[in-house]
Chain A
Amino acid sequence: MARAAHPEAMKPRTPGRTRTAPPLMPDEFPTRGRYLPYVLFDATGLVYMLVGLAALRVVWDLGSGPEAWGVVQEQLRHPLYVAFHGISLVSVIFVGVRFFRLFPKAQPPKIGPIAPPPEPVITAMLYATWIGVAGVMTVILAGGIF
């Protein structure tokens, strides 16, 4: 049985003059069909919030001086942290792929006289940038440069 939608969903400005049955959400919401990936997609916001908090915490700890670097590195090797970062990585890839699929069609047909490049080109550019930047960051953090 479908769950209830907001009781005022699609309500007309001028109320109709016969009694109506309240609106119901589509049957497959939230865990069936394509709604499941959609709900997970929006739910990754939670993951980013935690990533953000964790990053703030790391920055805060590093504020106590250069010795803190070693301590922080030790903490980050904790299995729970590793698992958390694993989940974050999966989330980011999931959202990235899903968002990159949407991005090309969300471009306006023209900005002034300039038309966007064809969709496969846009997609290629997005992935190139993403992988490129992620690659550089990985190298830096692994100590390869700097």
Chain B
Amino acid sequence: MLEVIRHDIIIVGGGAAGLRAAIAAVEADPDVSVAMVSKVYPMRSHTVSAEGGAAAVARSDDNLEMHGFDTVKGSDFLGDQDVIQFFVEEAPKELTLLEHWGCPWSRNEDGTVATRAFGGMSTKRTWYAADKVGFHMLHTLFQHSMRFDRIVRYDEQFVTKLVVDGGAVRGVAALDVREGAVRLILGRAVILATGGAGKIFPFTTNGNIKTGDGMALAYREGVPLKDMEFVQYHPTGLPGTGILITEATRGEGGYVKNNEDERFLVTRDYGVGTKAELGPRDMISRAIVQEIEAGRGFEGPYGAYVHLDLTHLGEAKIDERLPMVRELAKLYAGVDPVHEAIPIRPVVHYMMGGVDTDIDGATTLPGLYAAGEVACVSLNGANRLGSNSLTECLVFGARAGRHAVGFAKGVHAANENACRGQAEEEAARIASLRGKKGAEKLAPIREEMRSTMESGCGVYREQASMDETVRALAELRRRFEDVSLEDASVVFNTELVTALELDNMLEVAETLAVSAAHRKESRGAHTRKDHVARDDQNYLYHTLCHRDPTGHRVDKKAVTLGTWEPEERKY
């Protein structure tokens, strides 16, 4: 018997964007009931691992224009300027609200909120909480959300399908990981807040849960994914594990050095000018890759790396501003940054692309919204500035929450029988996956997907390797259809969840590779060896990737320009 649950707003994902949307929804309407459906308990959401800070204009030597321009330029002029305008206006209010809700922002002596320098920002506007900003923001939001009875949590429920009827989204089918049953949750609006998909790559700061679920859910219902080719490599991740070493290390004065003890970002021309280590992430990642290719990197058991030197900062400063970095370096790299340089290399960190939304978070499917890393609104264009994304989750999570409530007011009841039918089909599909017999093992398919993404869609790309990746992914998809699962159990079957996640990852990976192969220019984080220049004449648009009977179809969407005309991106 299919269990049916009814709410007004369904939020998929319990991280910063999802929690902020939930809070905004219940504050917008005292009668609305919100379901927060997440495959993990909210405090496990990957927001928790963010370290550096969240940006908003705070100081008197700063203004909205400056934050806006930094973001536009950082995006390599692909960011939508109306979105950016709204973002910089709302940012200080959102971070202030979070402070009211208890977020322990680090402080200046006079009790005001402290700010630090960050990559690509023209002045200090990154609010921080030591070096655990994501942890503190997530726990603050989660704890604040506990005040509202009308936010009902459905923990460890994996949404596997959006239920669409009459041309609009009507709810979700979700697998209860513990019980093994599929449930239908009906709602008048659905907000996707499931994060990015870093796990399609082998070296990533992302945790195990970042598998692009929301992107795949939307994509399968015909919603286009926008700008998927733009993947941010964070310059300073640990080799092997990919664990994030925050940009704040550079914000507090750390140096990046090659094997000749040279601060190559200063001594050589990598386009970052006087900003040096505080240049934008795409430029620094490219610089590091080039240094390594020139033979000026170090060799290690996990490949080549360079050094992040904090030894000149002193123990007191490191313990006050970067305590978690010190712990992580000791625990996972075996070095104490007070005395030794940390080995680092670029690792995949963030997806600028995602579900295509407008400034309200609305997608092309009525009733479906998206906010946070899963969405491409587009705030970040071709490259994101560090510390903008946590603020993005708050600003657009809130906006999507409010708009979803507005939309929900005008929605008539769904055709429940049609929805039940879809959910029952989904339940049958999942039941047949459990303990399925086949010829292929899960782990090798996953590892090969990652390896082909790294070789074809890494920091530097070219047509031949991208085409090869597209081909390889199609082959992996075929092999996945024949995957063999050992675990036929019903209760808490994590192998089943892993298989569903791999299904989502393969979908997202394909859109990424196809979009990357399409864009024949270099812009922001998408760098091609065969088309090295930015081509505003032909490519100043967002890439839209649609599902198509033939596979995938790429379309264009205009960039909303505004105050700032595209110019050469030099620092």
Contact = CB atoms under 8 A, between A and B. Distances in A.
Complex contact flag A–B (Cβ < 8 Å): yes
Interface of A: 16-18
A16 B156 CA distance: 12
Nearest to B490: A18
Nearest to A19: B491
Interface of B: 178-179, 491-492
A17 to B, nearest CB: 5
A127 to B, nearest CB: 31
Contacts of B492: 18
Contacts of A17: 178-179
Please classify the interface of chain A as helix (H, G, I), strand (E, B), loop, or mixed, using the class held by over half of its residues: loop
7 contacts: A16-B178, A17-B178, A17-B179, A18-B178, A18-B179, A18-B491, A18-B492
Nearest to B180: A18
A16 B179 CA distance: 9
A4 B188 CA distance: 47
A16 B176 CA distance: 12
A18 B181 CA distance: 11
Contacts of A16: 178
A17 B3 CA distance: 13
From DSSP, what is the main secondary structure of chain B's interface residues?
loop
A19 to B, nearest CB: 8
Contacts of A18: 178-179, 491-492
A80 B491 CA distance: 61
Nearest to B176: A17
A11 to B, nearest CB: 15
A18 B156 CA distance: 14
Contacts of B179: 17-18
B488 to A, nearest CB: 16
A16 B181 CA distance: 13
Contacts of B178: 16-18
B181 to A, nearest CB: 9
Nearest to A16: B178
A18 B490 CA distance: 10
A118 to B, nearest CB: 19
A18 B492 CA distance: 10
B197 to A, nearest CB: 30
Q: Which 7 A-B pairs have the closest CB atoms?
A: A18-B491, A17-B179, A18-B179, A18-B178, A16-B178, A17-B178, A18-B492
A125 B179 CA distance: 57
A28 B329 CA distance: 32
A17 B491 CA distance: 10
A16 B180 CA distance: 13
B571 to A, nearest CB: 45
A17 B179 CA distance: 7
B310 to A, nearest CB: 30
Contacts of B491: 18
B295 to A, nearest CB: 52
Nearest to A17: B179
A36 B179 CA distance: 39
A18 B180 CA distance: 10
A19 B240 CA distance: 39
A16 B116 CA distance: 46
A119 B209 CA distance: 43
A17 B492 CA distance: 12
A16 to B, nearest CB: 7
A87 B157 CA distance: 57
B182 to A, nearest CB: 14
A71 to B, nearest CB: 65
A36 to B, nearest CB: 30
B153 to A, nearest CB: 12
B364 to A, nearest CB: 37
B423 to A, nearest CB: 18
A29 B315 CA distance: 39
A17 B183 CA distance: 14
A13 B178 CA distance: 17
A16 B178 CA distance: 9
A78 to B, nearest CB: 59
B389 to A, nearest CB: 34
B529 to A, nearest CB: 53
B321 to A, nearest CB: 22
A10 to B, nearest CB: 15
